[in-house]
Structure 1
Amino acid sequence: MKKFVTLFTDSYRELKSVRTITAAAMFAAVAIILDMFSIQLGSYIKITFSSIPNGIISYLFGPVVGGLFSGSLDVLKYLLKPTGAFFPGLTMVTALAGVLYGILYYKKPITLRRILISKLVVMLICNVILNTLCLSILYGKGFMVLLPARALKNLVMWPIDSMIFYTLLKTMDSIGIFRTIRSVHLLHTK
């Protein structure tokens, strides 16, 4: 339990760093650009890779920064490119996804198994159950009517998203991007 609480306290400390805010801003710009190339399939299904920066921020800075980043970025992306009605419940689910990724990635080694498990957890809890519930409330459609298509889309995207995220993280790690962000961050926190 102490390690779990430490994840949040360490992540909160990360939030106080200018380098964390700067890195988050740069990844937010990447997320906004990726969101511009999303594919909207009707009112209920959207395929996008703009969540990749959310996972990277959660990996680098933990659940507190990940949740705040994901939630605030969701609002910002909506303001820049509104699709459908704004619903605060969807923003809260996005923030929860950032927190979950932070819990599952922060200060842990990058492995395909970890990414597959974390993507599955977030897809089931956030994308399939909670987002479908929010869409059901927002559009007045039955939960069970929306569930099959959303579950199928997430099942198909799960290995694809996992492989893309794993490959990207391993590549960024091997060329030293994370080491650079962390070393610069550590220099300024001492």
Structure 2
Amino acid sequence: MKSNTLKSNSFLTTRSLVTVSLLISISIVLARVLGLIIPIAGLPALKINFSSVPLIMVGIFYGPTAGFMAGAISDVLGYMINPMGGAYFPGFTLSTALAGMIPGLIYKLLKAKKNLIRQNFNYYNAVFIVFITGCLLYSFYLKEVLTFDNGIMYNGHRLGFVYVTLFISAIAIYVTLPFYFSKTTQSVNSAYSFDKIYFTVSTTQLITSLILNTYFLSIMFGKGFLVFLPTRIMTNYFMIPIFTVLLIALIRVLRLDK
């Protein structure tokens, strides 16, 4: 099959069920055994793991229904195996299920409208990066961590020209990286090119990690949304590119793009 087309795997075959079950198992191990918990404001509110990667693969190659079921099953079974010291919260099951479903919906749309495959999604990716950067700065401003009364102040300390320039340069580099990797990797005409995988991961993380999980944490711990948001945004600055690279590497190693 040519690289600019999409695979269409039926979920209800023996081979597909075995593959999806294996990916669910890998997701559980990554989340409940190999995952890390980092406190935010003294609360276990940030989990760093790669459990979303297998769920995204399920959604991409087996569709949104399979992705949703895989996410829900992995969260419930994972909690039964190792609750990691926390109470069960159904909202996290929903967001984990959506982590498998959203990629499936995106690739179902790509399959239905194949002219989208020829589009360069890096422009959408650039908008996303600028958007979450704006959200990060605005959340700092609302928490009065970042102020502009006497120049640009961070935690009461004036930020000099060098720091501001370095920050702007870092964001500019971050925005241009997807364009660079797209040129050095697979053609943007491929359904599994860097720009489309990055778009899929960033959209999924925006909805599940940054919006839903942050909201659920604020309910669970009785804290404001902004208490958790800045740290979660900064974490996703790193996790989204890592997820993207891992997915592309796995797709190529397993020859799923052929």
TM-score by length of 1: 0.79
Q: Which one of 97, 102, 105 corresponds to residue 104 of structure 2?
A: 102
- Alignment check: 8 A CA contact 2:24 2:71 kept: no
CA contact (8 A) 2:46 2:232 kept: yes
Q: What is the match of residue 3 of structure 1?
A: none
Q: How far apart are the structure 1 equivalents of 2:254 and 2:12?
A: 24
Q: In the alignment, is residue 122 of structure 1 matched against residue 196 of structure 2? A: no
Cα deviations by residue, 1:106-152 (Å, 9 ceiling, x for unpaired): 55721111111111111111100111001111111111111111111
Percent identity of equivalent pairs = 33
Aligned to 2:18: 22
What does residue 32 of structure 1 align with?
A: 28
Contact 1:104 1:114 in 2 (8 A): no
2:55 matched to 1:54? yes
Runs of 4+ in 1 over 6 A off after TM superposition: none
Query: 1:98: how far off?
Result: 1.2
State the one-letter code of the partner of 2:104.
Answer: G
Structure 1 unmatched ranges of 5 or more: 1-9, 180-190
Equivalent pairs counted in the alignment come to 165
> Please, what TM-score do these two structures have when normalized by structure 2?
0.59
Asked which structure has the greater CA Rg, the reply is: 2
- Do residues 139 (structure 1) and 196 (structure 2) align? no
Instruction: Evaluate the alpha carbon distance shift between residue 25 and residue 76 of structure 1 in structure 2; reply closer, same or farther with a 3 A threshold.
Output: same
The separation in 1 between residues aligned to 2:107 and 2:254, in whole angstroms, is 15
* Residue 96 of structure 1, CA deviation: 1.5
What's the RMSD between the two structures over aligned residues?
A: 1.9
Give the secondary-structure state (helix, strand or coil) at the position aligned to 1:116: helix
Deviation at 1:178, TM superposition (A): 7.5
Q: Equivalent residue for 1:70? A: 71
User: Relative to total residues, which structure has the larger helix share, 1 or 2?
Assistant: 1
Closer/same/farther in 2, CA of residues 77 and 178 from structure 1, 3 Å limit: farther
Q: Which moved more, 1:104-113 or 1:86-95?
A: 104-113
Q: Equivalences for 1:76-91 in 2 at 5 Å?
A: 76-83=77-84, 84-91=86-93
